[in-house]
Structure 1
Amino acid sequence: MASKDLPPRTEAFFPTIFYKTQFCEKHAGLPLGLTLLSKVAIVTGSNVGLGFESARQLLALNLSHLILAVRSTEKGEQAASQLRAQFPHAKIEVWKLDMCSYSSIQEFAFRVDADLTRLDIALLNAGLVKPSYTVVKETGHEETVQVNYLSTVLLALLLIPSLCTKRPPGGQPGRLTMVNSGLSLVGKLPLNPKKPEQPILQSFDNKENFSSTSWYNNSKTLMHLFLWKLSEYLHADDVIVNIVDPGYVKGTEGVSKMPKLTAMMAKSFAALTGRTVQVGASTYVDAVAVKGKESHCCFLTSWRIHPFAPFLYTPKGKTLIEKLWQETLAELKFAKPEALLSAKSLRDAEAGHDGGFRDFIHPNVEDRE
């Protein structure tokens, strides 16, 4: 069953959920004979940590062409050189992608459309944990929500046409996976109950609402709302889209961005309970290479399909889903998101009439002003 069709989790104590998913669910392993030979994949935020390890694991499955999408091409090339030494027969490229810039995201998507003849997998791993409130100058939004939600949604929407069109005739649907977190289950929207009409995205831009301990969780919860609604627009026959929680993983750089005391506590807790980076990255590989149409628009954690955040299943939650969807479309209107998700457009693109998509993907700064 899809995440939205499952009953919401009812555990009153989040550590109970953490214990069950972190320790009680095990990886079944990869299917015998699984290979990614001839396939092309993009992995964002892939020069370190889970992104780098998941790229390595995909290459170990005979992936033919890998694109490391990173903000620093210098650091990306350092990572690529390690992977090229281990997998000399694969084509490994480094492409620049700044998730704090709509222009950079559009340029990246346009390059995908122009330069690639095939695209099978897009793993959107780039994410952010910030200990303080910071505004992205280009967009005016708080940086954590900008990267973890708005920019990730934009990149996903812009890659969907390529994932539809750049596959072999009769081949499997493209795979689009966005990295999420188990903490999204306890995330909340920082809305003022006395002002229910307040826009959701605007509430995240209010510095007074910022909390270094919960902001990351809240930003990841937003993707649950988006994915619930996306299921009404996008069919698994076109592209299989899901979000994945790697579990609590030790040895990643996310801890370094936390406040010092929080980081120290997180490191100690990770030493006792954390998964290795290799195990965490295996959840990514499972999401993009093992899971099929049954995982479309689902929340995956510990290699299983799980329900979304509990409040989505309430009448208020349904209202918030619709509200965030409309706000997101308005924020990204320069990319014409509704046209990108049009069933007719996707079918036309798959049939080879995809020229119109270039009008949406091509960077156009004037449309954003």
Structure 2
Amino acid sequence: MTSSVSLEMPPRTTGFGLLTLDSQFLYRAKYPPKSTNLNGQTGIITGASTGIGLESCHQFLGLGLSRLILAVRSQKKGDDTAAALRKAFPKARVDVWILEMESYKSVQAFAARVDAELPRIDITILNAGMLSNDFELSKETGHERVVQVNYLSTFLLTILLLPILKAKAKANGTSPARLTVVGSGAALASKHGWQDQRPLLPAFDDLNRIPWNFGERYWSSKLLGQLFFTKLYACVDPDDVILNLVDPGLVKNTSLQRGPSESSLLLAVAIYVVTNIAGRSVKSGASSYVDAAVMKGKESHGCFIMDWELRPFAKFIYSPKGKDCAEVLWKETMAELKFAGVEDILANLKK
């Protein structure tokens, strides 16, 4: 089993509030040296039409990335974004591909297109995510939307892309490929009141089992991602694909939130005020993606990157209860995604 530097670190004991202040005010963005050159390389960025995703497009293209796939929900927004990027970076090829993260079918179609149409993929940033004020089930899957987008679909896409990245990198002699999943330090804030729910995943779809709190649901979705990630990375050889998890920090001017409602208006305003006081710039947040996908090497495989440094995961993950939840979540997620053949995909990765 490949070891994870982050898992071997002792968990942080600092409270989330103090940790956030420390993170936001004591650390400054790190940018790659001017000699960094991504010429000839191809990248994929999901959620690329706004916020940190869009700014990261500028930063990767600014380093000479030759081809960029914008994975977006809206064709018009994608086309408008691509037109602006093509004007700013005329030597690069910028394509718009539709990806709806609330749909398993869309995720599978996107991965199949990557396999069929891209001769090489060097860098993949899974940035798409959401926060919602209101409880709502996805029409296609029947799962609560935040968990669907931030956890289930994100890790389905991760698993589907891993063998594709491995095969193309080996064929092109460019191993290892890089796959960076965007997580959040907000996972450290989750109170994980659902830890004893069994089965676990269906509990997030039932208000009688897990009462709705839009902040806690976002934090929980990111904690689920950390729990699953700590088992997933071991299925991947870092000589084939370097898989890491990055937190861009609290960032101003993003479009993470969808569908504000009056019921949580005061809390939304409070978050807005705090973000504008303590939040990083979009440029700073996006630099964490470049750092994780370009500057970090095999030492970052299976790691959580926060403040441009390898950090421990959320404290819950190291506890007996957390380890039990990780096992339960892994089994339930494998069952949930069985239709996509995920167990066979992961079993074949190291062959």
* TM-score scaled by length of structure 1: 0.89
Q: Is the 8 A contact 2:195 2:325 kept in 1?
A: no
Residue aligning to 2:340 = 335
d(CA) in 2 for partners of 1:154 and 1:211? 25
Distance 1:86 1:140, change over 3 A: same
Choose which of 155, 175, 178 in structure 2 pairs with 1:175.
178
Letter of the 1:218 counterpart:
S
Task: Give matches, 1:248-263, under 5 Å.
Answer: 248-255=250-257, 257-258=259-260, 259-263=264-268
CA deviations 1:239-271 (Å, max 9, x no partner) are 111111111111112256453222222222222
d(CA) in 2 for partners of 1:270 and 1:138? 33
Task: Note the C-alpha offset of 1:192.
Answer: 7.0
Distance 1:192 1:33, change over 3 A: closer
Letter of the 2:229 counterpart:
L
CA deviations 1:265-320 (Å, max 9, x no partner) are 22222222111100111011111111111111111111011111101111121111
Task: Note the C-alpha offset of 1:347.
Answer: 5.3
d(CA) in 1 for partners of 2:195 and 2:327? 18
d(CA) in 2 for partners of 1:5 and 1:90? 40
**Is the partner of 1:127 in helix, strand or coil?**
coil
Residue aligning to 1:199 = 199
Task: Give matches, 1:108-187, under 5 Å.
Answer: 108-167=110-169, 169-187=172-190
Task: Note the C-alpha offset of 1:136.
Answer: 0.8
CA deviations 1:33-68 (Å, max 9, x no partner) are 111111101100101111111111100000000000
d(CA) in 1 for partners of 2:68 and 2:28? 28
CA deviations 1:10-37 (Å, max 9, x no partner) are 11x2111112211222334313411111
Q: Superposition RMSD on alpha carbons, in Å?
A: 1.6
Task: Give matches, 1:23-172, under 5 Å.
Answer: 23-167=25-169, 169-172=172-175
Q: Is the 8 A contact 1:122 1:176 kept in 2?
A: yes
d(CA) in 2 for partners of 1:328 and 1:135? 18
Task: Give matches, 1:192-341, under 5 Å.
Answer: 193=196, 198-208=198-208, 209=210, 210-255=212-257, 257-258=259-260, 259-341=264-346
d(CA) in 2 for partners of 1:203 and 1:128? 19
d(CA) in 1 for partners of 2:332 and 2:72? 28
d(CA) in 2 for partners of 1:28 and 1:280? 10
d(CA) in 1 for partners of 2:350 and 2:265? 51
1:10 aligns with 2:41: no
Task: Note the C-alpha offset of 1:189.
Answer: 3.4
**Count of equivalent residues:** 342
Distance 1:3 1:347, change over 3 A: closer
Task: Note the C-alpha offset of 1:186.
Answer: 1.7
d(CA) in 1 for partners of 2:282 and 2:312? 24
d(CA) in 1 for partners of 2:28 and 2:105? 41
**Is the partner of 1:199 in helix, strand or coil?**
coil
Letter of the 1:322 counterpart:
E
Residue aligning to 1:361 = none
Residue aligning to 1:365 = none
**Is the partner of 1:232 in helix, strand or coil?**
helix
Letter of the 1:323 counterpart:
V
Q: Is the 8 A contact 2:175 2:240 kept in 1?
A: no
**Is the partner of 1:95 in helix, strand or coil?**
strand
Letter of the 1:110 counterpart:
A
d(CA) in 1 for partners of 2:349 and 2:257? 40
**Is the partner of 1:334 in helix, strand or coil?**
helix
For structure 1, the residue ranges without an aligned partner over 5 or more in a row are: 349-369
CA deviations 1:169-203 (Å, max 9, x no partner) are 4423111111111111122434275xx5x111012
d(CA) in 2 for partners of 1:230 and 1:20? 29
* TM-score scaled by length of structure 2: 0.93
Distance 1:164 1:121, change over 3 A: same
Q: Is the 8 A contact 1:256 1:263 kept in 2?
A: no
d(CA) in 1 for partners of 2:328 and 2:228? 10
Distance 1:25 1:108, change over 3 A: same
**Is the partner of 2:136 in helix, strand or coil?**
coil
